[in-house]
Structure formats: C-alpha cells, structure tokens
Amino acid sequence: MVRVLVVDDSAFMRNALSRMLSEDPEIKVIGTARDGVEAIEKVESLRPDIVTMDVEMPRMDGIEALRHIMQKNPVPVVMVSSLTTEGAKVTLDALDLGAVDFIPKNLSELSLNILKIKEQLIEKIKNIGKMGRVKKHVKPVAPREVVKYIPERTVGERRVSIVAIGTSTGGPKALQEIIPRLPKDFPVPILIAQHMPPNFTGPFAERLDELSNITVKEAEEGEPLKPGIALIAPGKGHMKVVKKTAIEAVVNIAENTKEFIYRPSVDVLILSVAESFPGRALGVILTGMGSDGLKGVTVLKRTGGRVFAQNEETCVVYGMPKAVVDAGLADKVLSLEELPGEIINAV
C-alpha cells in the first residue's frame, strides 16, 4: 500500500487528486495539507510514502516546503506543476532540490480522455511511492569538469558515430550528472528523448546547456546533426533522424505519431537512429517507468549497435532500463558515475 499526502491550497485540487488516487486499491491518501507549513508538519507526523506538492500556496510555497522536507524528513515528492514556461522553470528548480517528478496542475484541460490521465497519475504515484525513503538532498555542484577516468577500451569494439539517450522519471537529474561531464570536443552528435510537456523541454535544454561544456539545445525541424551538440527532443512531438546523404543527417519532428504513448518517444528516436546509423550507434537507457525504448534498442542491437543501461541502484524508477536488461539487450549496466566515462570511451 502506497501512503500519499496531498498538498494543495485549492480544495478542488485536493479533492480531485485524492479521489483519483483513492480509486486504486494499492493507494491510500492518508492526509491533505493546504500550504507548505502544514505539509512539513504532516510529513513529520504521518510519514507518507510519497507527497504530491503544489507550487503556489499561501504562507509557504511548495519550493520552500520541499527544501525543508528534503533536509529534515526526505521523502519522494512529486510536484503539481503549471504547464506554462514559467511553471517549467519552477519545476526544474524543484527537481534540482530533490523532487523526483511532476504532474500537470490543470488535469482537466490536458485531454478529453480523463481516464488515461488518471491511469498515468496512478502509475506514477505507485512506481515512485514504492521506491522507499530518499536520502537527504544536497544540491550537487555544477559539474563542468569532465570525467578524469576513462575505462580501458575492449579490443575489437567499434567506435560509434552517434549517441541516443532515452529517459523519463528521474531523467533531468540523471542527465545533469552525465552531459556536463562530457568534454567540449565530444566527437559525435547526441540526441536525447526525455518525457516532458512542450513548454518544459526548451527551459530544460537551456539549463543543461548552462551546466555543460558541450552545446545543448532543443531540436528544431530540419536541424543538422553536428559533433559536440546535444539535441533534446521537443515535448510537442517525436524526434527522428533522417539521412539526407551518406554523411549528412537532420532532425525531423513528427507531431502526430499516435502509435507511441509517451512523448517525446524514446522508441521513435532510437528506431530512426538504428536505421540511419546501422552498426555505428550507441543507445543509452536511463531511469524511467515503463518500457519506452525497448523496441528501439531491440532493432539497434539487431543492426549492430551497442546499448548501455543505467543500473537499478542509481535509478529513481528502474523501469525502462530493467526492460532492456531483462531482454538481454544491454552490453553494459552502469551507474550514473560510470556512464560519462563509458560514453566517452565508446566514441
């Protein structure tokens, strides 16, 4: 049973979230709070498995409450966020402070399919709630220095010409541990699919660029792939690679690919990379729930590519990497600390 504390200054939202969550037999809403002060008190007294935290609240907002909770009584916190650009920046601040994920504030406006929204909310709460207590959060120093240790190269391993990374829950923190540790002269393009809403991927790319030696930006339609530039798939659609010539490839943003549930889809990205760079691609699957990326890396391996998966110990949710590992597709299963060096070594 996952025990949830719902924090929101809106009685409507407290009731809506509580009602949605309580419909699942594996979830129990053990309390609600109207502001950050109440949230801190109830985390202390009720000891929930997970907290949903609104951002804008009287007396004490969600960011300040999160800061207190992560220092005094660390627990997985999911932010309830506005889908505006400003909301995205605040949410990214919350993720930096230790929040594990976020859900949209305006649930009723996201889609006519409220049932699907509820299912995704419940899945997220159950997966994150079962991870247990989290460590006391200390914000890491921006890691502009590249990794000092590069593992020895296995004889016979071919160098790759492109790196494709897929992630979901816990991905922003994981990417901030990996991308800033790559050198400025990184010799191949990097493509990233991180499950995020449309207004979030741009601000996230800007934040990652500020921390990194390489250039990081949100991908644009028709943009050419270049060494040392990491392109993040825009949240409005799915990012594909299209080969223009034997030596030139560009990005295609497909907004109406209904076959794939998650957006931007890791499968869409890696399937296109496998097709455009057979035998010369590296797929990296990081923390996230579900199995997005499994179809892609299956084809990637079949075409001679290589696959790295994040290990369970350093994942927020060991779902996407687990699917790849259980299918026997991972060439290496690595911690966050090991991944930058191994990626450098592969190119």
> 211 near 328, Cβ under 8 Å?
no
In the chain, what are the helix, strand and coil shares in percent, each to the nearest 5?
35, 20, 40
> 103 near 80, Cβ under 8 Å?
yes
| Active site (annotated) includes residue 292 | yes
Taking Cα atoms as reference points, which of 27, 33, 231 lies closest to residue 124? 27
Phi, psi of 29 (to 5 degrees): -80, 110
Residue bearing tokens 């993040």:
232
Catalytic residue among 35, 54, 195, 265: 195
| Active site (annotated) includes residue 195 | yes
Taking Cα atoms as reference points, which of 210, 196, 177, 192 lies closest to residue 88? 196
Q: How many CA atoms lie within 13 A of 200 on its CB side?
A: 25
Catalytic residue among 81, 82, 168, 272: 168
Q: Write the DSSP string, 311-336.
A: -GGG-SSBSHHHHHHHTT--SEEE-T
What is d(CA 288, CA 203) in angstroms, rounded to the nearest whole number? 20
Active site residues: 168, 195, 292
